[in-house]
Amino acid sequence: MSIWKSLRTVQELNSLHQATLVQHLGIAFTEVGEDFVRATMPVDHRTRQPYGLLHGGASVALAETVGSMGAGMCIDMQEYQCVGQEINANHVRAGRSGLVTGTARPVHLGGRSHVWSIDIVNDAGKLVCTSRLTVAIIRRGALGV
């Protein structure tokens, strides 16, 4: 059973991020399943730290991007919006090249907050980073934006 209330296609998700950090880092949405969202990010000059390894901040950017898009598709986006409250990440394996893939799945879908678990794996399917994202669900216009 699908969890989505405002389902978007992969193409729509990718088009939302023109001229943003997401585009700059090369993050690309690849799949929306019944209860997950997936995107890839290259490990290259944009996402490596000085030692040549995947930058932890880039992993967190991928995790927040995928989790936030999942959260947004679980609400009525005409009336509400999602804003990040907290994110944490455990970096368990170095990434040096290729693509990493982040998959976000909900842990809790409440009326005022969501919690998402995001696992990032390398090309071999080995865990690189695991992250947990909490987003607040607020009425559109509540931020005065």
> Can you give the residue ranges of every domain in the chain?
10-139
Checking if the pLDDT of 145 tops 90, the result is: no
Alpha-carbon distances of 34 from 51, 53, 73, rounded to whole Å: 38, 33, 11
How much is the pTM?
0.95
Tell me the per-residue pLDDT of 20-65, one tens digit each, with 9 for 90 and over.
Answer: 999 999 999 999 999 999 999 999 999 999 999 999 999 999 999 9
CB 75 within 8 A of CB 82: yes
SS3 content of the chain, % helix, strand, coil (to 5): 20, 40, 40
Q: Give yes or no for residue 124 having a pLDDT over 80.
A: yes
Q: Which CATH number fits domain 10-139: 3.10.129.10, 3.40.50.1970, 1.10.10.60, 3.90.1200.10?
A: 3.10.129.10
Q: Residue 70: pLDDT above 80? A: yes
- Do 47 and 55 touch, CB atoms closer than 8 A? yes
pLDDT value at position 142? 75
- The rounded distance, in Å, linking the Cα atoms of 1 and 68 is 20
- Residue 79: active-site member: no
pLDDT of residue 82: 94
Give residue 96's Cα distance to chain centre.
20
The band of 143, judged by pLDDT with boundaries at 50, 70 and 90, is: confident
Question: What is the tens place of the pLDDT at every residue in 86-115?
Answer: 999 999 999 999 999 999 999 999 999 999
Nearest residue to 66 via CA among 89, 93, 96: 89
Question: 80-91 and 99-109: which strand pairing?
Answer: unpaired
Does pLDDT of 84 surpass 80?
A: yes
Catalytic one among 12, 34, 64, 79? 64
